[in-house]
Structure 1
Amino acid sequence: MTMSIDVNLLTGILAIIGGVLILIKPKLLNYIVAIYLIVVGVLKVLPYVT
């Protein structure tokens, strides 16, 4: 049995984690947004590359 993660579920989880981290430490906002954009971009482009 293989476990597959839906992209929408993953982006939702990342958004929740990012929001909590920003509330705890607002100076992390720039890094969290940058990492989030990179991860979402890679996940959206990946199906077209492979």
Structure 2
Amino acid sequence: MHLSITHLQPGVALIAGVLILIAPRLLNYIVAFYLIIIGVLGLGLLH
């Protein structure tokens, strides 16, 4: 089974949303890590 980024995004969004509700100060870190991961995967650097 091959997982692509489109399969992972809803789960990542759900987890990020829950973390932001629990600790709003995490928002900057969550967004930064999300953008870095999406960028790396988009460039294909982890294949």
TM over 0.5: yes
Distance of 1:40 and 1:13 partners within structure 2: 14
Structure 1 match to 2:32: 34
Which structure has the higher relative contact order (CA within 8 Å, separation 6+)?
Answer: 1
Gaps of 5+ in 1: none
| TM-score (structure 2 length as normaliser) | 0.82
Moved over 2 A (4+): none
RMSD over equivalenced CA pairs, Å:
1.6
Identical-residue share of aligned pairs (%): 52
Paired positions, count: 46
Structure 1 match to 2:11: 13
Q: Rg: which structure is higher?
A: 1
TM-superposed CA distance for 1:6, in Å, is 2.0
Gaps of 5+ in 2: none
